[in-house]
Every structure is written in C-alpha cells, then in structure tokens.
C-alpha cells in the first residue's frame, strides 16, 4: 500500500455521484482499489452545493480509508460520473466548479456505469434501481433509452413497481379488483389498514419511497400472486424492449446493473437473457477508467 509520503501522481479517484449517495474509490496505477468512501447525495440536479460537498467528502473518506489522509486533493486526478450532466446547463455548472482536485474529468453516471461494467470497453447497460434506463456506448457514440424520471418515465424501475403495487391495492380496497395476498403484505409493510391511511402514507412521496416497495412485489409474484405477476410481467416486458432496442447498436457486451437487477433478470425473455453478461466492475471504477482514457487522449 502507498503511504502519505508516496507517489501521489500514481493514484486516481473515481466517483459516482448518485441521488442518494456519493461513492468514491481510490485506486493505484494498476487499478487496485486502495480505499473506498461514501457520503451524501452527489447529484447536481438536486443542488450544486450539496453535490460538490458530497464529492469532496467522499474523496476524503476514500483517501483516509486508503491510509492516505494527508494526501492533498490538489495532487490527485479524479474521474466523476454524475446524473444530469447530459443537460448542457448542468455540465457547464459542474465544469465551472473551482474544484480542489489536480484534474477533474466529468462524465454522465450512465457512461461511467457502462465503462465500469465492461472494464473500460464499449458496450451497453440496463440499469434498474430506484429509476430505470438503458444506455449503450458503441463507436464512441452514446445512446440513451429511457432515463426520464418518475412518475412519467422509469418504467420497470423500483419506484415504478412500488407505485403500480400501491395503485392496485387502492383498486382492491375500493372493491374494483380482486384482493390478493400482495394487498395485505403491502398494507402490513406500511402499517396501515385502510385506503385513507394508505393514501396519507404514500401521497406526495418521492421515487425512493416507492422503490422500497419493489421487493415485496417480486416476493408476491414469485409466490404466484396474480396481481403482482401482472405488474412484474409488464415491467419486465418494458426492460425486454429496452434491451432489444439497445441491441440494434450492436454493443460488444451488455450487462444489467442496479439494485433491482437480480430480481428482474429471471423474469426477462430468453432472447434478452442470452444477451446479458455479468458486469465486470463498478461505476466508480468506470469513472477511474474514464479519467485515464481522457488523459491518454490528450
């Protein structure tokens, strides 16, 4: 392991700034992970100051974890992937940041996730966590499918599964559709026992709240609940269509990533399952690989 008096120019920071947390790694010249750090929300969509604070904090945590607490950020190159920087206004705002690093290379969260999944090579990813989207990077060209947000987009995401379940439970409580086991399980999870209380619990809640209900829907579907199965089939059919759309770009590899992926993957169509390979590393590592590629280009 390097120590604080060591060769700082040989280490790199990789940061994935997401909507709920910011994850950082510090790696050696040969991409060995020396330390990791996690801080709060790092997505500039929800505020520039909070995002930049989280980025700096996660970097410091990772350096400390690597035994490099005394290394100045001004001596370390960083690759950062952030949601939202596909919007020109946010890319400019983040690029204009008087950051404390030696150099900063900025990419979208989607690109670093894709580079991470394919060890820096081209390919495609389908991401299903709180949100959902598809992304391919082929012939140095990015293609995004979805990534529209909640509730108008993000079909097949954790938030979408949770909202669909809540809708069906409300219909069941109104006696408009059959009540299944999933209804009782959802009411129990939210500690409510009628429609008015359920509405009070869910009204105005963000995507992250609904996403917490997604595992319940998959549990119910796997136990044969017909309402849950219809929801899971509809969400999976959307993910199938995203994968088939991305396959038109002829990505050398395709992976599924995100917290909900292990639940959805078994429900996908066999032609889609056959397209998928396991992700090789994390988005944070993808951020490191992105920074190194940018340096090599200059």
Among 36, 50, 86, 208, binds its own copies (CB under 8 A): 86
CA distance 113 to 126: 10
Query: Residue length, the chain?
Result: 298
Minimum CB distance to its own copies, residue 111 (Å)? 16
Minimum CB distance to its own copies, residue 261 (Å)? 19
Residue 48 or 209 having the CB closest to its own copies: 209
Tokens of 177: 């559709």
Among 221, 242, 272, 288, binds its own copies (CB under 8 A): 242
Q: What is the DSSP string of 205-231?
A: --HHHHHTTHHHHHHHHHTT-HHHHHH
CA distance 108 to 111: 5
Contact in structure between 71 and 45 (CB atoms under 8 Å): no
Dihedrals phi, psi of 284, to nearest 5 degrees = -60, -40
Question: Which residues, numbered 197-226, are part of the site for its own copies (CB under 8 A)?
Answer: 199-200, 202-203
Identify the helix (H) or strand (E) that includes residue 281. Answer: none
Minimum CB distance to its own copies, residue 149 (Å)? 6
- Residue among 157, 287, 284 at smallest CA distance from 217: 157
Residue 101 or 150 having the CB closest to its own copies: 150
**Number of residues located near its own copies, criterion CB under 8 A:** 28
Among 87, 178, 226, 277, binds its own copies (CB under 8 A): 87
Three-state DSSP class for residue 143: strand
Tokens of 260: 């909900």
Tell me if 46 contacts its own copies by CB under 8 A.
no
Residue 241 or 265 having the CB closest to its own copies: 241
Tell me if 141 contacts its own copies by CB under 8 A.
no
Rule CB under 8 A: which residues touch its own copies?
86-87, 145-146, 148-149, 151-153, 155, 163, 166-167, 170-171, 174-176, 195-196, 199-200, 202-203, 238, 241-242, 245
């Amino acid at each position: 392991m390097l120590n604080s008096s060591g060769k700082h120019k040989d280490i790199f920071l990789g940061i994935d700034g997401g909507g709920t947390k910011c994850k950082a790694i510090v790696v050696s010249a040969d991409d060995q992970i020396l330390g990791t750090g996690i801080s709060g929300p790092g997505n500039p969509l929800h505020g520039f100051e909070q995002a930049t604070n989280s980025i700096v904090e996660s970097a410091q945590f990772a350096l400390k974890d690597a035994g490099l607490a005394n290394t100045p950020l001004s001596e370390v190159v960083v690759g950062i992937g952030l949601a939202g920087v596909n919007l020109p206004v946010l890319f400019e705002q983040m690029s204009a940041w008087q950051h404390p690093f030696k150099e900063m290379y900025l990419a979208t969260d989607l690109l670093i996730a894709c580079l991470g999944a394919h060890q820096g090579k081209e390919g495609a990813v389908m991401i299903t966590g709180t949100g959902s989207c598809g992304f391919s990077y082929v012939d140095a060209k990015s293609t995004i499918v979805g990534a529209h947000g909640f509730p108008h987009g993000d079909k097949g995401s954790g938030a979408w599964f949770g909202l669909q379940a809540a809708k069906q439970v409300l219909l069941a409580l109104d006696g408009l559709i059959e009540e299944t086991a999933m209804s009782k399980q959802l009411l129990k999870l939210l500690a409510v026992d009628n429609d008015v209380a359920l509405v009070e619990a869910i009204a105005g809640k963000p995507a992250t709240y609904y996403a917490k209900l997604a595992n319940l829907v998959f549990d119910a579907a796997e136990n044969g609940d017909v309402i849950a199965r219809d929801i899971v089939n509809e969400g999976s059919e959307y993910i199938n269509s995203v994968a088939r759309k991305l396959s038109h770009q002829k990505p050398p590899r395709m992976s599924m990533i995100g917290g909900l992926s292990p639940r959805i993957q078994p429900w996908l169509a066999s032609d889609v399952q056959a397209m998928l390979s396991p992700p090789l590393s994390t988005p944070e590592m993808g951020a490191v690989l992105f920074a190194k590629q940018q340096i090599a280009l200059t």
